[in-house]
Amino acid sequence: MFDASALRHHLATAHDLNASATVLEWDQETYMPDGGEDARAHQVATLRRLAHEHFASDTTSTLLARAEAETPADPLVVVARRDFDRATLLPPRLVAETAEAVARAKSAWRRARETNTFSVFAPHLERLVALNVERANLAGFADTPYDALLDLYEPGLTARVLDGVLGDLRRDLVPIVEALAAQPRPDDAFLRARYPTETQWTFTLDVLRDVGFDFQRGRQDLSAHPFTTSFAPADVRLTTRVDEHFFPTAFFGTLHEAGHGLYEQGIDEHYARTLLAEGTSLGMHESQSRLWENQVGRSRAFWAHYLPQAQRRFPDALAGVSLDAFYRAVNAVEPSPIRVEADEVTYNLHIMLRTDLERALVEGRLAVADLPEAWNEAYRDVLNLVPGTDALGVLQDVHWSLGTFGYFPTYTLGTLMSAQLFDAAEDALGPMEGYVERGDFLPLLGWMREHVHRYGRAKSAAAILLDATGQSLDAAPWLAYIRTKYGALYPGAGL
């Protein structure tokens, strides 16, 4: 064990440097004045560079090799090897070229979106696709370069497995969305009444406390784009934003981030200051946020508990709104061109078509110049609508401008896993409805802590899923959840 502990001690320095950079990034999104931008960029870059040099060093290589000889199955050793190989795989030239290409692409994407001119972004996107293909070729892959990119965000996932699951999902989901879209839209005008900002803010804090977020080991602040970040399991930061004239923005945004934050707070303290002290994959992370936002937060039982409170807090907006009317409003299904505004049913169609398109780009089956047309065609096919402009279409998401390809599918993986995990928790604890109606969230949280959270990166997403649910990744449980819930909400749809 001597060498694994020497390795652990050595890597803690890199971890501290990275966590410090993360504190600065959190501050940048929450409290830093605009004037701090240049100085902050240097500070973060310096810390990240020092962390990288320390981590990708000969010392790490030596300690890692010794630890592998002695305790090859130690999860820290396994994860350290994976991260070390990844950190040292790319020649410095490629790292520098990618960083520069991303910096240029980000501002080009912003300009392209503001002026609705795809051609401004196109050459930068071409460059980022080429750099990603180069990276995939260096990493190696079995079937397609897309495999190597998926592995960056969802370790172990292959395009072949993804194809199977998304194929099942698409076959059933497209007709479900068609049937729901043909139904009259429920009245949700009261969600756009005035909800005073201060009252919304305290409501989100109270709900965070109720679901088990620990304010001794975390906090919530405001930011333009909500996110969750962790410096340690004992210091987890959430952000939300408040729209005074749209209730769901802050409330469901907070519940979503709460799911991410509860995961980070639930990681075994023993893993603090190691590579294991974070969620195991983006998909597993998203399973937790979707579970609290949708399975719990958009359930009828949840609002049986919270609507009376909400009506006391917002008497002008919600007087006379019945539980059924509220429940229908926060679950309105309507195909729209914008992913981030999509309801939980149509959301995954947005992800599927992005997955198809980015994979075609990476595999060289689609030219960047043809992307806007392919995008609009896919929306026509799958959601039966055409975005009015490229700004509302192919240019809407930041992901590709950051050079991330293979990230989008993790949103859908999270959705599917959330249903599998929720079902398993109900098998163990009994129907959730009764607990949720009483505002008793701790049994569900306790189950997630036990079966998911505590492992951090010490256990893969696939192993967590299999041990916790007895199944591998499967679209059927989520489809069953959607049919049951929306079949009752929209009896005319015949689901």
Query: Which residue, 390 or 397, is less far from Zn ion as judged by CB?
Result: 397
| Beta carbons within 8 Å of 280's beta carbon, 6+ residues apart | 155, 455, 456, 457, 458, 459, 460, 461, 464
Q: Which residues are catalytic?
A: 257
Distance between CA 234 and CA 217 in Å, rounded?
A: 5
In the complex, least distance from residue 331 CB atom to Zn ion, rounded to whole angstroms: 19
In the complex, least distance from residue 197 CB atom to Zn ion, rounded to whole angstroms: 23
* Pairing status of strand 218-222 against strand 235-240: parallel
Among 77-85, 98-106, 207-215, 282-290, which window interacts with Zn ion (CB under 5 A)? 282-290
Q: Using CB positions, name the residue nearest to Zn ion.
A: 289
Nearest to 51 by CA among 111, 96, 11, 109: 11
Question: Does residue 229 touch Zn ion according to CB under 5 A?
Answer: no
Coil, helix or strand at residue 221: strand
Residue recorded with tokens 């370790």: 155
Distance between CA 26 and CA 8 in Å, rounded?
A: 26
Nearest to 263 by CA among 217, 204, 298, 301: 217
Among 13-21, 165-173, 281-289, 475-483, which window interacts with Zn ion (CB under 5 A)? 281-289
Query: Which residue, 341 or 427, is less far from Zn ion as judged by CB?
Result: 341
Distance between CA 163 and CA 170 in Å, rounded?
A: 10
Distance between CA 161 and CA 435 in Å, rounded?
A: 35
Query: Which residue, 68 or 257, is less far from Zn ion as judged by CB?
Result: 257
Distance between CA 343 and CA 321 in Å, rounded?
A: 21
Strand partners, 240: 222
In the complex, least distance from residue 411 CB atom to Zn ion, rounded to whole angstroms: 8
Query: Which residue, 77 or 255, is less far from Zn ion as judged by CB?
Result: 255
Query: Which residue, 67 or 284, is less far from Zn ion as judged by CB?
Result: 284
Q: What are the start-end ranges of the H helices in 194-338?
A: 197-211, 247-265, 282-290, 300-313, 315-318, 323-329
Query: Which residue, 129 or 291, is less far from Zn ion as judged by CB?
Result: 291
In the complex, least distance from residue 289 CB atom to Zn ion, rounded to whole angstroms: 4
Question: Does residue 294 touch Zn ion according to CB under 5 A?
Answer: no
Among 84-92, 205-213, 287-295, 374-382, which window interacts with Zn ion (CB under 5 A)? 287-295
Among 55-63, 86-94, 289-297, 486-494, which window interacts with Zn ion (CB under 5 A)? 289-297
Question: Does residue 289 touch Zn ion according to CB under 5 A?
Answer: yes
* Pairing status of strand 235-240 against strand 228-232: antiparallel
In the complex, least distance from residue 450 CB atom to Zn ion, rounded to whole angstroms: 22
Residues in binding contact with Zn ion, number by CB under 5 A? 1
Among 182-190, 286-294, 328-336, 426-434, which window interacts with Zn ion (CB under 5 A)? 286-294
In the complex, least distance from residue 419 CB atom to Zn ion, rounded to whole angstroms: 16
Given the rule CB under 5 A, which residues bind Zn ion? 289
